[in-house]
Amino acid sequence: MSERGPVVCPGDRLGQESNYIAGAGTYGREGFIYASIVGRQEVTSAQGDAEKKLPIVTVTSMKGGGKVVPQIGDVVTGRVTRLRQQAAVVDILCVGERALHTKFQGQIRTQDVRAKEIDKVTIPTSFRPGDLVRAEVLSFGDANFYYLSTAKNELGVVYAESPAGVPMVPISWQDMQCPQTHVRERRKVAKVVQNTQEASK
């Protein structure tokens, strides 16, 4: 249940921190909650199992969602652009289900490809350029790349094409097969969950 309020500007006082929880588009300072973007104020009543039973005040921009930036722990989708000896370079395209407005670069290092038998991992048997991968943001890395990890069952290659240009079918967690030529290729395959509701949680 949410109530829509007036249009507010950055710096406008929305309420007291003792009466509301500061949601998206707002910030708290010295006991009060202020707007941080231009948009429409909305108050949503408290969630059932929340710690504090206070309504949440948010400000929503008229231009649709705000800018999203990869944060540590986010599950991101990206495309592998090239392989280096110790890492695969990935163009991060989406965070969760939201497409990014601009490209961010990340890399998956050999030690972060999978959880077990790390020393046996080689990059060319895990990824190839052009593959779409789902990965988790490990850390902010260095100036050029985020550090990503595919060391979970549900992370890894979600889409890859065989040399024939046909999308391959996953056979196991480390094999994919081309349905046309029946050639098998090694990849670190993501265990795709069938139930879409579960995947988007």
Partner 1 sequence: MEYVTPEGLRTDGRRPRELRKLGCQLGTLESADGSATCEMGFTKVLAAVFGPRDTAGKLHPDRAVVRCQVATAPFSAGERRRRGKRGPLATEQAATIRETLAENIHLELLPRTQIDLYFHVLQADGGILSTCLNAGMLALADAGIPLKDLVGSCTVGYLESTPLLDLNYIEESGGGPLLPMAYQPNMDKILMLQMDKGKLPVETFEVLATLATEGCRAVTGQIRQSLMNHTKQLAVARGSV
Q: Which residues bind partner 1 (CB under 8 A)?
A: 7, 9-13, 25, 27, 34, 36-40, 61-63, 66-67, 69, 71, 101-105, 140, 142-143, 146
Least distance from partner 1 to the Cβ atom of residue 181, Å = 37
Q: Any bridge partners for residue 175, and if so which?
A: 172, 186
Least distance from partner 1 to the Cβ atom of residue 196, Å = 28
User: Considering beta carbons, is residue 127 or 146 the nearer one to partner 1?
Assistant: 146
| 105 CB burial (10 A radius; 0-12, 13-18, 19+) | middle
Least distance from partner 1 to the Cβ atom of residue 143, Å = 4
Least distance from partner 1 to the Cβ atom of residue 103, Å = 7
User: Considering beta carbons, is residue 9 or 192 the nearer one to partner 1?
Assistant: 9
Q: Which of 52, 200, 58 is nearest to 134 (CA)?
A: 200
3-state helix, strand, coil in the chain (%, to 5): 5, 45, 50
Least distance from partner 1 to the Cβ atom of residue 100, Å = 9
User: Considering beta carbons, is residue 69 or 118 the nearer one to partner 1?
Assistant: 69
User: Considering beta carbons, is residue 140 or 173 the nearer one to partner 1?
Assistant: 140
Q: Beginning with the edge strand found earlier in the chain, give each strand of the sheet holding 26-29 in spatial order.
A: 13-16, 32-35, 26-29
Report the distance separating Cα 150 and Cα 65, nearest Å.
28
User: Considering beta carbons, is residue 71 or 122 the nearer one to partner 1?
Assistant: 71
Compute, in degrees rounded to 10, the torsion defined by CA atoms 89, 128, 172, 73. Answer: 10
Q: Are 134 and 75 in contact (CB under 8 A)?
A: yes
